[in-house]
């Protein structure tokens, strides 16, 4: 795109992360003109680097990815079944266990590396570009101004190029600049902590069960992966959450020292642990916008709901928003109605809030309790966990939520 060019579209998507690419793919093939804007270069989209993050996908999300021609583009060995989930508290070996049998499925869901989802989503969009020729993917440029009015949405890029459309959809992260530019604020909960994520092999089996371990002074997570292709050793994505000031030295540890340190943090329950990937860190911040829509403007993905990772529902909510909004747009377009009408966007906001807000708030509460190490909180944490393990309807509800079958 040159500095003097102008593009007209029906829908302009800001952000070509997984949610933005999935949304573009969901809209394709229905007679709409779609433009996707991304500030990074195209080669970073086509071959994204490993970023340490494993994404937990519900059964419903896996179905959506199949429908979007994304699932089949991911190597089968990279699709790790998530059969059970365990929640642990402090040094006590007792756990609340959520079994896949409670969901009526052979697994609660699947674990897939984020960079592989991004790559597959990009390939699916490229296929749609070839087949339907209705998507323009503009990379290496940034939005410098954005406004909407009764006639449409208007964007100017850093290059000087301009775009116009009927609807703008923000998919540019939980810290969305486009959401802020349109005048939508957000409630942000900065937990003052950082997550370190990496891939490790270990001696003891994980039995394809995820762990969320609220230990004293740290939070650990274990996301079970299929065996290491090279060695067939047990392999997992490991997450360590600590106060911001404590993470930097651990990131810099020599690999062998890091393995020993993680083995100790996991109290030897996994045996010898070996680092087999790069290490990455991310600030722990929950974000929920005051509004999900504005005039001819909507949000999807983390721009709509920036979840705490403890529930593993971030991308699942992203896909749910993609499904809800794209279905509404398809229906309006088929009936000759405005795809960015105020009633359509208001209904999307109502539906998506109802689906996401309760769990977002519950997650904040659970995280606050299970990272409070005071003596009364420790007692309450243990009591709540044991009560949860004993109440079968509660466990079934969690299993349904984790699998996306409710």
In this predicted model, what pLDDT tens digit does every residue of 102-117 receive, in sequence order? 888 889 999 999 999 9
Q: What is the pLDDT of residue 2?
A: 47
Taking the C-alpha atoms of residue 154 and residue 51, their distance in angstroms, rounded to an integer, is: 33
How remote is the C-alpha of 223 from its chain's centroid? Answer: 15
3 pLDDT more than 50 = no
In the chain, count of helices (H) and strands (E)?
11, 19
* DSSP-H helix ranges across 187-341: 244-251, 255-265, 314-334
229 pLDDT more than 80 = yes
pLDDT band at 375 (very low <50, low <70, confident <90, very high): confident
352 pLDDT more than 70 = yes
Instruction: Name the one residue in this structure whose structure tokens are 């600030």.
Output: 283
Tokens of 264: 């100790």
Give the list of residues 6+ apart from residue 144 with CB closer than 8 angstroms, or none: 156, 157, 158
Q: What is the pLDDT of residue 390?
A: 80
End-to-end CA distance of the chain, in Å? 45
401 pLDDT more than 80 = no
Taking the C-alpha atoms of residue 73 and residue 90, their distance in angstroms, rounded to an integer, is: 40
Tokens of 333: 């377009």
Task: Give 289-294 contacts, CB < 8 A, sequence gap 24+.
Answer: 289/179, 289/184, 289/185, 289/186, 289/187, 290/184, 290/185, 290/186, 290/187, 291/184, 291/349, 292/348, 292/349, 292/352, 292/353, 293/345, 293/346, 293/348, 293/349, 294/148, 294/182, 294/183, 294/184
- Mean pLDDT, residues 279-284: 94
Taking the C-alpha atoms of residue 274 and residue 259, their distance in angstroms, rounded to an integer, is: 5
pLDDT band at 311 (very low <50, low <70, confident <90, very high): low
Give me the percent of the chain exceeding a pLDDT of 70: 98
181 pLDDT more than 60 = yes
pLDDT band at 406 (very low <50, low <70, confident <90, very high): low
The structural domains of the chain, ordered by start, are 6-76+113-188+286-369 (3.50.50.60)
Q: Nearest 5°: CA angle at 401, between 395 and 402? A: 90
Tokens of 148: 């909407």
């Amino acid at each position: 795109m040159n500095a003097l060019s102008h593009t007209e579209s029906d829908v302009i998507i800001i952000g070509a992360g997984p949610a933005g690419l999935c949304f573009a793919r969901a809209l394709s093939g229905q007679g709409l003109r779609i433009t996707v804007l991304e500030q990074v270069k195209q080669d970073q989209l086509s071959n994204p680097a490993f970023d340490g993050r494993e994404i937990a996908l519900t059964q419903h999300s896996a179905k959506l990815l199949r429908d979007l021609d994304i699932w089949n583009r991911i190597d089968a060995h990279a699709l790790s079944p998530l059969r059970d989930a365990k929640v642990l508290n402090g040094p006590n070996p007792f756990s609340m266990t959520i079994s896949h049998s409670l969901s009526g499925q052979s697994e609660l869901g699947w674990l897939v590396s984020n960079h592989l989802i991004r790559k597959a989503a990009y390939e699916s969009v490229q296929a749609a570009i070839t087949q339907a020729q209705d998507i323009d993917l503009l990379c290496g440029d940034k939005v410098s101004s954005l406004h909407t009015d009764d006639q449409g949405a208007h964007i100017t890029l850093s290059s000087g190029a301009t775009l116009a459309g009927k609807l703008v959809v923000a998919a540019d992260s939980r810290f969305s600049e486009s959401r802020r530019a349109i005048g939508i604020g957000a409630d942000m909960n900065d937990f003052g902590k950082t997550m370190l994520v990496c891939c490790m092999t270990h001696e003891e089996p994980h039995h394809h069960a995820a762990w969320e371990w609220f230990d004293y002074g740290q939070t650990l997570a274990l996301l079970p992966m299929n065996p290491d292709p090279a060695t067939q050793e047990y392999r997992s994505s490991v997450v360590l959450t600590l106060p911001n000031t404590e993470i930097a030295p651990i990131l810099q540890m020599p690999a062998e020292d890091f393995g020993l340190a993680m083995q100790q943090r996991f109290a030897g329950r996994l045996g010898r642990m070996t680092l087999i990937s790069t290490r990455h860190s991310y600030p722990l911040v929950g974000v929920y916008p005051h509004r999900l829509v504005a005039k001819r403007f909507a949000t999807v993905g983390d721009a709509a709901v920036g979840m705490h990772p403890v529930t593993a529902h971030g991308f699942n909510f992203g896909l749910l928003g993609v499904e809800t909004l794209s279905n509404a747009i398809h229906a309006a377009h088929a009936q000759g109605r405005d795809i960015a009408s105020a009633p359509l966007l208001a209904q999307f906001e109502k539906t998506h809030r109802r689906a996401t807000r309760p769990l977002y708030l519950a997650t904040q509460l659970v995280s606050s309790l299970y990272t409070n190490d005071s003596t009364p909180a420790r007692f309450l944490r243990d009591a709540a966990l044991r009560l949860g393990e004993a109440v079968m309807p509660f466990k079934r509800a969690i299993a349904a939520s984790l699998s996306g079958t409710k």
